[in-house]
Amino acid sequence: MMPVHLYVLVISLFVVNVNSLTYDVHWLSGATTIERDLPLSKQSVDIYCFTGISKNLFAIWQTVKFHVKLKNDEFSQYIGATPEEVFKDYTEDSYGWSSVISSFQKKAQKTLSLELFNPTCMAINTKHRHNIELQVIRVDIGRVLVMCLGIALIHSSKSLSGNPMFFYLCGVLIGVFASFMVLVYYVSKLLPKKTLTYGILIGGWTVGVYMFQQIWENLRVLMLTYKTYMFWYSIVVSFVSFLICYRIGPPKNERSKKLVMWTLQAAGVLMIFFSSGYQEASSAVIVVSLFVKYFPKSVLYRIQGYWRKRFPPKPRLLSSEEYYEQGARETKRALEELRKHCSSPDCAQWRVMLRLSDSKRFASFVEGNSHLSDDEVMDYESYAFSMEAARKPGPVANSTRNNHLEISDDDSSDYDDV
């Protein structure tokens, strides 16, 4: 048996060795990659700190991460707000007090999301070569999609609350998720309760976290190992959930629809709030979305009316080509309406024909013929030609202009595309 003074000597040497440790702080503010190949006699601890950024609107969708590139998981991780705090955790762990429950500690993460506006420091304890990378994503597409989905959910909650397809889809998803929760419940029933309770009392909450991680890892392994069975299990549960939803039917009561609508809006609010690390900005987005959603439309119409009255829009004048095309189009439409009215029972055709000097021409027009005679067309073309010649003296050889001045009946193909 070793004497007491030898124990004291060994512990003193260990404490002196630990106290001789120093630390180097690497302050990172942008995308950086640091490679480390640690020697066995290293007496300095590398601490990597993210300085944080100032609050600005462009940081609403920004994401910053520490990424540890290591071939295996044999490393310890220490997180803190300051280098001193991280170094303290590192030295306390070096004493060996945490080795008793090291297997129950939270598993070190190779990818760690950081707070945007507060400094965050991290140290790695490993004997292997590794890289530390600070990833700065200016616009995280995932955050943008989550925020847009939350906004869309708020504004479309009323229509979705009465949509049968949305009801069936949510019912199937909830049924599949609930079935997995039932499986987890029955798996937990198989665990020895007394042993688990005593373990939590002795080891603290870290034992409970460890047990939960083990259960989750086992379930994940089962899902990856038996993919085919899990696939068909999901199909069967989805079909059963659909049958139950079909039997119940979509909600028809107005109060039930309002409950569904409020639930969807609450889900949208939570999605917007947690879609950004800049929670003040995401809260402002929530307030604006709810304000737009519940803003009275009557007040909006009054504001629009006052604005148009105060600043009336300036009418745009038509060009000569637009004026000519609009005249031809409206004339054709009016003639068609007149022909339909004259052909309808509401029109007293015989009384109209008695008042006309040329009743035969009226009957021809009602049957679909042109409302202009050949002499009238010739007179208009000669008049248009004389007006063009008076405006532009000399021979007129512009065929395009003549085509615009020609007139034909309402059934002419020149205006079919107008």
Among residues 120, 139, 158, the one where a domain terminates is: 139
Q: How far apart are CA 140 and CA 136, in angstroms?
A: 9
Neighbours of 65 (CB within 10 A): 15
Contacts 24+ apart (CB under 8 A), 333-342: 335/371, 335/410, 336/410, 339/365, 339/366, 339/368, 342/366
**What mean pLDDT is predicted for residues 293-300?**
82
Among residues 108, 139, 170, the one where a domain terminates is: 139
Task: Tell me what percent of the residues of the chain surpass a pLDDT of 90.
Answer: 9
1 within some domain: no
Question: Residue 362 belongs to what domain range?
Answer: 316-382
Considering only residues 388 and 272, tell me which one the structure prediction assigns the higher pLDDT. 272
- In sequence order, the β-bridge partners of residue 125 are 76
- Can you give the pLDDT at residue 182? 75
Q: 15 with 111, same domain?
A: yes
Among residues 273, 299, 325, the one where a domain terminates is: 299
Q: 59 with 104, same domain?
A: yes
Q: 157 with 278, same domain?
A: yes
What rounded mean pLDDT belongs to the chain? 76
410 within some domain: no
CATH code of residue 25:
2.60.120
Q: 128 with 193, same domain?
A: no
Give 3-61 pLDDT, tens digit per residue: 544 444 444 444 444 455 677 888 887 778 887 776 555 667 888 898 888 888 888 89
Q: Say if residue 189's pLDDT is above 90.
A: no
Q: 124 with 151, same domain?
A: no
Q: How much is the pTM?
A: 0.57
How many independent structural domains does the chain possess?
A: 3
332 within some domain: yes
The winner for highest mean pLDDT among 14-18, 98-102, 322-326 is 322-326
Kindly indicate the confidence band of residue 145, based on its pLDDT and cuts at 50, 70 and 90: very high
Among 125-129, 268-272, 397-401, name the one with the lowest average pLDDT: 397-401
Q: 123 with 264, same domain?
A: no
Q: Say if residue 287's pLDDT is above 90.
A: yes
